[in-house]
C-alpha cells in the first residue's frame, strides 16, 4: 500500500494555538502552513544558525507551542 499525499495551499491551516488569556478570554490563533514554515525556517537558520549537520534539542511537551517549533527544525536539514 503506497502513501498518498495531498498538496496543501500556503494559507491552509496547520495548527491552532490559544493565547494565555492574561488580558481577558483566551483567543484562538490559527497558524497557516506556509507562514509557519517560513517563520520557523527564518528562526532556525537566521536566528539560531541551525545547519543540516546540527542536532536540535529543546525540552518541551507536545502540548506547548515550542513543540511545533522543535518539529519544524527538521526542515533545516
Query: Per residue in 18-61, pLDDT tens?
Result: 988 889 999 999 999 999 999 999 999 999 999 989 999 888 88
77 pLDDT more than 80: no
Distance (Å, whole) CA 39 – CA 32: 11
- Give the residues across from 32 on adjacent strands: 13
Q: Supply the DSSP symbol for 4.
A: P
16 pLDDT more than 90: yes
- Give the residues across from 15 on adjacent strands: 31
Amino acid at each position: 500500500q503506497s502513501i498518498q499525499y495531498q498538496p496543501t495551499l500556503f494559507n491552509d491551516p496547520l495548527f491552532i494555538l490559544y493565547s494565555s488569556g492574561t488580558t481577558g478570554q483566551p483567543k484562538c490563533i490559527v497558524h497557516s502552513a506556509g507562514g509557519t514554515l517560513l517563520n520557523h525556517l527564518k528562526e532556525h537558520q537566521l536566528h539560531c544558525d541551525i545547519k543540516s549537520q546540527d542536532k536540535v534539542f529543546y525540552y518541551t511537551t507536545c502540548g506547548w507551542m515550542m513543540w511545533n517549533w522543535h518539529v519544524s527544525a527538521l526542515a533545516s536539514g
